Amino acid sequence: WEGKGLLSAFQTGCTTKESFRLAQLEALVRMLGEHECDFVDALGRDLHKPRFETVVSELLLVKNEALHAINSLKKWMQPQRVERNLSTTLDDCLVVSEPLGVVLIMGTWCSPVLFCLGPLVGAIAAGNCAVISPSEHTSHTAELLHRLVPSYLDSECFHVILAGTNDLADIVELKFDHVFFGSRVAQAAARTFTPVTLILGGKNPCYVDQQCDITATAQRIAWARFHNAGQSVVAPDYVLCHVDVKTRLVRALKCCLMQFYGSDPRESRSFGRMVNLEIINRTRDMLWRSGKVAVGGQVIEAEKYIAPTILTEVVETDPIMQHDVFGPVLPVLTVNTLDEAITFINKQEKPLCVYAYSSNSKVISRLMSETSSGSFCSNDSVLQSVMVGLPFGGVGASGMGSYHGRYSFDAFSHRKSCLLRGTRFECVTYLRYPPYEDRNLSLMTWASTLSQKSQGWCQIL
């Protein structure tokens, strides 16, 4: 691919036209529909991902993002008027969204279609040219995107590159206008002052109160943790279980695993595999050195298989609690009070998600307000991260920036402030001109000072 070619394409202004943006978004929707089977096959090869998971958690989510953008694009593109004060009564105060230019979107292996094409929707809607770099660890999906994208999207404005991890820093040195999911090359981006959106994950806590529906709680936690064989940045990373419900919760989780995957999950068509040996070995080492296996624990390296596993008797210093878990392992810790749970969560780095299960609204309210995280969800997991109307992103150690829906459009736009004035008030604005006089200063001070009760003549200049 040629970076200068993309820049030249952007400079023609073709991507800024509403008709162009709509056409590209509609083409993206067609690509997903016409090649559903190809995507299912590619993700099956890369992750042993069940068709159900591929369609629901990858293709459908991207399609919904694109359809939402198509339906909302005209409104998003309109300048936003800002409330005027006395000094701008006859002027226009506007915020205009303009495209950034040429952006780089780096996919991840845990959701290789969603994390490539989801952000691309925002880049297209905002009027940018884009380079998509799928993860090398999901090679079949990467090769499929490399083949399909030029057949559906404008090949002068959108490129897919097959690059290894070692190549990405050099690619970023070419100076993009924005890098999305840039954790692997954040330092390289910083050297060129390239803004980034980072989704870094983190250890997502899941508090289970004694006042909750244990059966529904177990089902929703098990689905979220073991979906895609646990390879997810938004899955519950560990459970903080009230001591009164630990036994019942662990028993309910075991029942869920039997219900979801049968007596031998290795034979289940609904359970995936790990992406590579590096992730297998890392997860296995943490698993075997932490807590006590309540169910699961089997590892078959040759098949890239780790059984869905629940750990009990886990303590804060165990290896499984010191690192992010990208595998089908759920540690269960106990706490005696809600205060203890909140203290435990706040001792850690700010996570991408906090989950709370309780039928007591006061418990939910306290966890939501007294902890900090990229997102929060009560009595369910993951769903808050896929809703087009909610921004999704991290805070602190779990990332910066957000996307989804309008927030994706804003992530790939520069919000330019515009003041459109005339020259009719020169009889007032002359007060700012030299030679400076005390009388003029007094008038300017009086006219420009905000009142505690009203805006006043702010910014008379």
Digit-coded pLDDT (tens) for 250-291:
999 999 999 999 999 999 999 999 999 999 999 999 999 999
182 shares its domain with 226? no
59 shares its domain with 172? yes
In this prediction, residue 458 carries a pLDDT of 44
219 shares its domain with 196? no
| Count: domains in the chain | 3
149 shares its domain with 110? yes
For the packed helices 18-34 and 114-125, what is the interaxial angle rounded to 10 degrees?
A: 160
Distance CA(116)–CA(107), nearest Å, equals 5
146 shares its domain with 258? no
17 shares its domain with 41? yes
Within a domain: residue 370? yes
183 shares its domain with 234? no
Within a domain: residue 157? yes
Within a domain: residue 421? no
> The pTM is what?
0.92
Q: Strand 238-242 relative to strand 329-335: parallel, antiparallel, unpaired?
A: parallel
The terminus-to-terminus CA distance of the chain in angstroms comes to: 48
Within a domain: residue 100? yes
192 shares its domain with 243? no
Within a domain: residue 153? yes
What is the CATH classification number for the domain harbouring 352? 3.40.309.10
What is the CATH classification number for the domain harbouring 11? 3.40.605.10
189 shares its domain with 47? yes
Give the model confidence (pLDDT) of 85-140 as tens digits: 655 667 788 999 999 999 999 998 999 999 999 999 999 999 999 999 999 999 99
211 shares its domain with 126? no
Which of 58-72, 86-100, 186-200 shows the highest mean pLDDT?
A: 58-72
What is the percent of the chain with per-residue pLDDT over 90, rounded to a whole number? Answer: 76
**Structural domain range at position 289:** 205-387
Within a domain: residue 398? no
Within a domain: residue 295? yes
351 shares its domain with 457? no
73 shares its domain with 119? yes
Handedness of CA 385, 386, 389, 391 (dihedral sign): positive
Within a domain: residue 167? yes
